[in-house]
Structure 1
């Protein structure tokens, strides 16, 4: 467990430094000392970790989801980072997501149809199919988040 804690603390430090200590304090409402304890490797702070709500606030402002990526790696999960930030305010909601979903699915099927035409899917064709599949997956994630927002 000590190795996992150290690993998470290093990524917590990367997150805070990515955002900047002063902005991190403002975003989380935590002091510099408190944030420092979350990534300190001193034995007296070994059991102190940043709360998940603070991680979410900082990762929203960061250039990369450092702690989330570390947690995924610890579980053997592969993440696909999408820097479009589509879930920000002002998006069209579920109706727009349904339209985007049908468009993306049509693009995936068109790509598949073109790729399988000769009976073999080449490496480049597989890469294009993977890219379309990931784009379709992102639309589904956006849709899930919009549905969760609308649920009482």
Structure 2
């Protein structure tokens, strides 16, 4: 259980820091001290964990669902983080090709930034995965448009 607790506390800390401690306090109605206890590795706080409603509020404001992702990882579940913003309501193969080239450029930019120091960190890998999934969604939409046009 100690490994699981530490893992969850580490991701709780990442979530709070992603949102910012002041903003996290406002969103959850919890004090800095209370939030700190949720990710503290001190023995006296070993049994204290962030409530699920607070996780939901913070993950809504965060750039990444840190705690939800950690829970999924522990269970061997892969989450698909979908933040697509289509270029237009209507589209076809031509708009898909444009979106595809844009997404690929974003993936390559993210990769270039991630590999700059010779090491891809966990957070960098998560951002690369996010871009890869976005690219995959564009390809699926392109496939559907091609199937539709070919009758």
TM-score (norm 2): 0.57
Cα deviations by residue, 1:22-50 (Å, 9 ceiling, x for unpaired)? 00000000000000000000000000000
Question: Is residue 68 of structure 1 aligned with residue 76 of structure 2?
Answer: no
Q: Could you tell me how far 1:3 is from its partner in structure 2? A: 0.2
Structure 1 residue 129 displacement after superposition: 8.2
Instruction: Please state how far the C-alpha of 1:132 moved relative to its aligned partner.
Output: 2.8
Q: Distance in 2 between matches of 1:129 and 1:84?
A: 8
Pairing 1:1-152 to 2, within 5 Å after superposition = 1-84=1-84, 132=140
Q: Distance in 1 between matches of 2:136 and 2:34?
A: 46
Q: Aligned-residue CA RMSD in angstroms?
A: 2.6
Question: Number of residue pairs matched?
Answer: 96
With over 3 angstroms needed to count, the CA separation of the structure-2 counterparts of 1:129 and 1:68, relative to structure 1, is closer
4+ residue runs over 6 A deviation: none
Distance (whole Å) between structure 1 residues aligned to residue 48 and residue 139 of structure 2: 39
List per-residue Cα deviations over 1:83-119 (Å, max 9, x = no partner).
249xxxxxxxxxxxxxx9xx9xxx9xxxxxxxxxxxx
1:138 alignment counterpart: none
2:39 and 2:31 mapped to 1: Cα distance?
13
Alpha-carbon separation, structure 2, partners of 1:129 and 1:24: 32
